[in-house]
């Protein structure tokens, strides 16, 4: 038994150490190849400063033939790895706690996060209009995030439940499920509408939404979900992340690390997005901000 545990621990240590090393090695390769690409293939975020560009990277979409490295890593390794780690944690909970079936809390965590991954892969086209794809190069930030941070950090709720049993009642589980669905509807609808709008502002699917036209010929969505907050997809994401953590109870801060992290991340992203919107839409953006003071959470922030 001890031999089996030691072997399992050794395997875990090897895998957890190899992925950061691989992500750094990948980024060294990406940075080196970016020094040879034409200027029009560089990221808009590229600064010409070595350390910053190593972190963000210079090349916008590094490709080997038709294979887009950034697009692949954004979608596959981290997300699939996250699901695999969660599944391992589910099986570990059953073994450690000598359960015949996983706990309701573990089932909810796995189901919620699996649903998110499947939804992301199903709606992969929407990724093409995100800031990571159209603005950031594929540097250490994204490489480490995709290959290491996502699978090993986003699975903390499942990891916690392995050694901290939490019995969840069905009435409370129903409330958490409803919260998750609420967050998902906001997140997916806002992202889908934004994606359609970016591709074709005159699309018939958006006919019911109000827009403001700028003197530069661009249009700004100002109704629908944008009647509640400036960044509705961020609101939906925060609600979903909270729902991932609630099945773990309130006895420890660890399951809520993702909530804290996402809050900080989205506040930063909000500032970045609003800077770009100000530059893109000018006075029209200022007018919208005056009309809609809530950035992410209605009546709070």
User: 117-166: per-residue pLDDT in tens?
Assistant: 999 888 877 666 666 666 666 777 777 777 888 888 999 999 999 999 99
pLDDT digits (tens, 9 = 90+) for 13-27: 444 556 667 666 766
Of the listed ranges 28-37, 137-146, 245-254, the one predicted with least confidence: 28-37
Residue 101 has pLDDT above 80, yes or no: yes
The pLDDT assigned to 268 comes to: 86
The number of beta carbons lying within 10 Å of the beta carbon of residue 211 is 17
Yes or no: say if 140 and 27 are a contact pair by the CB < 8 Å rule: yes
Identify the pLDDT of residue 18: 61
Q: Please report, for the chain, the start and end positions of each structural domain, with discontinuous segments joined by +.
A: 1-102+134-166, 168-301
Burial of 147 (C-beta count, 10 Å sphere; 0-12/13-18/19+):
buried
Radius of gyration of the chain (CA): 21
Number of Cα atoms under 13 Å in the Cβ half of residue 66: 0
Name the pLDDT band for 6 (thresholds 50, 70, 90).
Answer: very low
Q: With bands split at pLDDT 50, 70 and 90, how would you rate the model's confidence at 110?
A: very high
Q: What is the mean pLDDT of the chain?
A: 81
What digits encode the pLDDT tens for the residues 33-42? 666 766 666 6
**How far apart are the C-alpha atoms of 230 and 71, rounded to whole Å?**
27
pLDDT at 99 exceeding the cut of 70? yes
Tens digits of residue pLDDT in 43-98: 665 656 666 666 666 666 677 777 777 777 777 788 888 999 999 999 999 999 99
Give CA–CA dist 43/56, Å, rounded.
9
Of residues 299 and 276, more confidently modeled = 299
Q: Between residues 106 and 224, which one has the greater pLDDT?
A: 106
Query: Is there a contact between 154 and 114 (Cβ–Cβ < 8 Å)?
Result: no
């Amino acid at each position: 038994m001890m031999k089996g545990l030691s072997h399992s621990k050794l395997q875990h240590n090897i895998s957890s150490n190899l992925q950061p090393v691989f992500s750094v090695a990948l980024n060294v390769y990406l940075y080196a190849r970016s020094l040879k690409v034409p200027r029009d293939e560089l990221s808009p975020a590229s600064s010409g400063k070595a350390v910053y560009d190593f972190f963000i990277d210079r090349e916008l979409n590094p490709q080997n033939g038709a294979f887009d490295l950034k697009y692949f890593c954004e979608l596959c390794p981290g997300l699939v790895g996250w699901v695999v780690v969660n599944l391992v944690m589910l099986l570990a909970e059953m073994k450690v706690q000598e359960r015949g079936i996983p706990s309701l809390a573990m089932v909810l965590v796995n189901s919620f996060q699996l649903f998110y991954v499947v939804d992301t892969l199903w709606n992969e086209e929407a990724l093409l209009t995100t800031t990571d794809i159209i603005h950031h190069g594929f540097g250490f930030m994204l490489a480490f995030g995709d290959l290491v941070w996502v699978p090993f950090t986003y699975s903390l709720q499942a990891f916690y439940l392995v050694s901290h049993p939490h019995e969840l009642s069905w009435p409370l589980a129903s409330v958490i499920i409803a919260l998750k669905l609420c967050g998902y509807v906001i997140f997916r609808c806002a992202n889908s509408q934004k994606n359609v709008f970016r591709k074709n502002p005159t699309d018939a699917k958006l006919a019911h939404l109000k827009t403001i036209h700028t003197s530069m010929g661009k249009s700004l969505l100002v109704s629908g979900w944008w009647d509640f907050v400036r960044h509705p997809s961020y609101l939906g994401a925060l609600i979903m992340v909270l729902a991932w953590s609630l099945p773990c109870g309130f006895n420890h801060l660890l399951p809520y690390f993702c909530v804290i992290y996402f809050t900080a991340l989205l506040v930063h992203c909000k500032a970045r997005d609003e800077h770009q919107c100000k530059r893109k839409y000018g006075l029209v953006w200022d007018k919208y901000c005056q009309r809609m003071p809530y950035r992410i959470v209605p009546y709070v922030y």
